[in-house]
A and B are shown apart, each in its own frame.
Chain A
Amino acid sequence: MYKNFINLLNNTRKGPSHHYFVLKRNIILIMLSITIIPLATMIVISHFQYRAHLKSQTTAPLLSMAHKAAHSFELFMEQRLSTIRFISTAYSFEELSKEQRIREILIFLKKEFSGFVDLGLINSKGDLISYAGPYSLLGKNYSSQTFFQETQIKNKYVSNVFLGYRKFPHIVIAVQRLTDDGQTWILRATLDTEFFDLLISSMGFDTQSDVFLINGDGIFQTESLRYGRTLEKCPFKMPHDKFKSNIVESTDENNRDIIVVSAGVSIADYILVIVQPQSVALQSWHALKTELFFVFAVSLVIIVFAILWMTKMLVKRVRVSDRKRKNALIELQHTQKLSSIGRLAAGIAHEINNPLAIINEKAGLMKDLVELSTELSNKQKFEKLTESIVKSVGRCKKITHRLLGFSKRIDIKIETININEIIHEVLGFLERDAIYRRIDLRLKLLDSLESILSDYGLIQQALLNLLTNAFAAVEDGGIITIVSENYEDAGVLIRISDNGCGIPENIIKNIFDPFFSTKKERGTGLGLSITYGIVRKLGGQITVDSVEGEGTVFTVTLPAKADSNMEAKI
């Protein structure tokens, strides 16, 4: 009767431990996913959020620094240009044409302003009229050169860097002077670019940042710390619109992540560039990243350990309770088996006892008649024979009485019991079966149910039998209703109804008979007869009401107090 259930517990196909392995695995997977997924999502989100925030926070000052630096250059150039513009205004063409004069002015400039290398006066045709400086350029014509043409158009000119005197990088600045009498001439000066580097270093950038000037073609105008020397080609592509400031994220040739910030210098064809490694710009982000990772790793370890430990304990408990339940079932099964045997034995003994009594009397009568007769031949032999029959009957009597005695070994133990409690306990045995078969168990148990004095184990067995039958009767997904209520003045009523196959009318009167079974090999035919025996023994009543195809209702009533003097006779 419970074999299916026990097999279910054991899960015999793959061994009992497989079931727990699956349980354990599923719990671990579910718990890991519900803890780690949100945690990881949180960390990833905050990681990127913070990065985006930090980037906007760090790039803004970089950009303003680039603007300031570019502006410093503009101011510097503008100052040098104003200086020579002032000279061109203060002195007339004739005065400047004098060698002596222009040399004096250069000496003065060198003394007052750093960077001036030479100074030259060029007339409107491009001829160098006078010159002070280290070269001997007198007589040279500049009319075909860019600087000459550009100065004539724009009145001023700042050149790109070139290698000039002693192979030092230089730039040329020039201004055009337009006199009142319509004359034009150009004052041209060469500056060495040492002051560029001085200017950059005076801006106070950190050592990780690389700050330099390039021209519109991407040629270094100053020294770069990492990416090339003056007049070499800059490895970064700069935006075409040089007057706009720009931020680009890139990687350099050493595969370092860098931020390139550029700002145009309006006075000349220069772009100021600041290159900062991302590691510097996003240093605090990296710190946070490390912290986040650390927190995540520690949490992960704690979570995994906690889950593993909890699952282990949980599955262990489940295993223990399963084992307990299984043992209880086996015990119950054993008790039932024992009582079945007892009942069988009692049935046989009782049936044999009657013919035995007849044999006994017949033999006794024979003995009496033989004793009374006087002239019977072989009288003594007949006496012996009948005596022997009577003796044998005596032996049989002992055996049948012993067998009848066996069925009464299980004594009733009367105690105060709550029927609802037993119903819940019995359902505990069957709930897994109910879950697997999607059986709808409807409990309508009276909360204020009276306690009764009766035998716990026997009622448990009786209810288990009835419920097992109900389970066998219903299809998967069927409905079993269990009702408990107070019965009349004293005692309780338990009603177990199912919407199963029902019991045919022609056999309903036999269902409580021992060995009557419709389950063929699967049933012993003792379940209901034992139940009947138990209920009767405890002083109760059991009735059945069934409609074939619609369902069955078993109603059990139990008195408030079972008669403890009654002997068990399952």
Chain B
Amino acid sequence: MNNKNIKILLIDDEGEFVSTLAERLELRGYAAKTSEDGESGISMIESEAFDIVILDLMMPGLSGLETLRQIKIINSKLPVILLTGHGSTKEGMEGMRLGAFDYLMKPLDISELINKISLALNL
């Protein structure tokens, strides 16, 4: 697998969810790091280089959309895939407008996520 070089940042307030997802991605050869809120996620992006960010929209504190906005200010080229717990596509659409690459609904289908990552990174 040549995924080792791909560095993914997962930002989601559900620790159990985000750690498990990171482990699964690592099993698939990605280098995944996690963050449980928007602020720490942003500071990680500022200090390290990531290839892609997976971001939950529903978070306490700094909201998903606000985090997205700040990520785009730091690095407008960094692709962001949004996760939404809502049945609605409204916030997803709003995220797309702000420059997200795509959005997915929780619970996730892992193969769909991998697919989106590949598309985002033009692999």
Residue ranges of A at the interface with B (Cβ–Cβ < 8 Å): 349-350, 353-354, 356-362, 364-365, 368-369, 372, 393-394, 396-397, 400-405, 408, 566-567, 569
A360 to B21, CA, bound (A): 10
Of B14, B20, B21, B88, the contact of A567 (CB 8 Å cutoff): B88
Are A360 and B107 in contact, with the CB atoms below 8 A? Answer: yes
Q: Are A364 and B24 in contact (CB under 8 A)?
A: yes
Minimum distance in angstroms from B108 CB to a CB of chain A: 7
Number of A-B residue pairs with CB-CB distance less than 8 Å in the complex they form? 69
Partner of A357, one of B17, B86, B87: B17
Residue of A nearest to B15 (CB): A358
Would you give 30 A-B contacts (Cβ < 8 Å), ordered by A? A350-B85, A350-B86, A354-B106, A356-B106, A356-B107, A357-B17, A357-B85, A357-B108, A358-B17, A358-B20, A360-B107, A361-B16, A361-B17, A361-B20, A361-B107, A361-B108, A362-B16, A364-B20, A364-B24, A365-B27, A368-B24, A368-B28, A393-B107, A394-B107, A401-B105, A402-B87, A403-B87, A404-B87, A405-B88, A566-B90
A566, B91: Cα distance in complex, Å: 10
Closest to B16 in A: A358
Interface residues of B in 84-101 (CB under 8 A from A): 85-88, 90
Contact string against A for B residues 52-95, beta-carbon threshold 8 Å, 1 for contact and 0 otherwise: 00000000000000000000000000000000011110100000
The residues of B with any CB-CB pair to A shorter than 8 Å are 14, 16-17, 20-21, 23-24, 27-28, 85-88, 90, 105-108, 110
CA distance A408 to B86 in the complex (A): 11
A116–chain B nearest beta-carbon distance, Å? 138
- Shortest C-beta distance, B48 to chain A (Å), equals 24
A404–B88 CB distance below 8 A: yes
Contact between A349 and B24, CB atoms less than 8 A apart: no
**Looking across the interface, which residue of chain A has its beta carbon closest to that of B85?**
A353
Contact of A569 among B21, B88, B110 (CB under 8 A): B88
- Residues of A near B88 (CB, < 8 A) are 404-405, 408, 567, 569
- Docked CA distance A400–B88 (Å): 11
Q: Which of B16, B21, B28, B85 gathers most chain A CB within 10 Å?
A: B85
Main secondary structure of the interface of A (DSSP, over half): helix
Rounded to whole angstroms, the CA-CA distance of A216 and B3 in the bound complex is 154
What is the distance, in angstroms, from B99's C-beta to the closest C-beta of chain A? 18
Report if A353-B24 is in contact (Cβ < 8 Å); known contacts: A358-B16, A400-B87, A567-B88: no
Residues in B neighbouring A360, C-beta threshold 8 A:
106-108
Report the Cα distance A25→B14, complex, angstroms: 69
Complex interface: chain B residues within 8 A of A396 (CB) = 107
Smallest CB-CB separation from A394: which chain B residue?
Answer: B107
7 interchain residue pairs of minimum CB distance: A404-B87, A360-B107, A361-B20, A401-B87, A357-B106, A357-B107, A353-B85
Do A368 and B27 touch across chains, with their CB atoms under 8 A apart?
yes
Q: Choose one: B14, B21, B27, B90; the contact of A369 (CB below 8 Å).
A: B27
Inside 8 A of B86's CB, which chain A residues have their CB?
Answer: 350, 404
Inter-chain contact B27/A397, CB cutoff 8 Å:
no
- Given A350-B85, A393-B107, A397-B107: A357 touches B14 (CB 8 Å cut-off): yes
Q: Is the CB of A354 within 8 A of B108?
A: no
Q: Give chain B nearest CB distance to A35 CB in angstroms.
A: 65
Q: Name the CB-closest residue of B to A349.
A: B87
Closest to B18 in A: A361
Complex CA distance for A546 and B82, rounded to whole angstroms: 40
Q: Which residues of A contact B14 (CB under 8 A)?
A: 354, 357-358
Docked complex Cα distance between A408 and B87 (Å) = 10
**Extra inter-chain contacts (18) besides given A358-B14, A368-B27, CB under 8 Å:** A353-B85, A353-B106, A354-B17, A354-B85, A354-B106, A356-B107, A357-B108, A359-B107, A361-B16, A361-B17, A361-B20, A361-B107, A362-B16, A365-B27, A404-B87, A404-B88, A405-B87, A405-B88
Within the assembled complex, what's the spacing in Å between the Cα atoms of A541 and B86?
23
How many angstroms from the CA of A419 to the CA of B88 in the assembled complex? 30
Report Cα–Cα, A372/B14, bound state, in Å. 26
What distance in Å separates the Cβ of B10 from its nearest Cβ neighbour in chain A? 11
A553 to chain B, nearest CB (A): 29
Which residue in A365, A397, A569 is a CB contact (below 8 Å) of B24?
Answer: A365
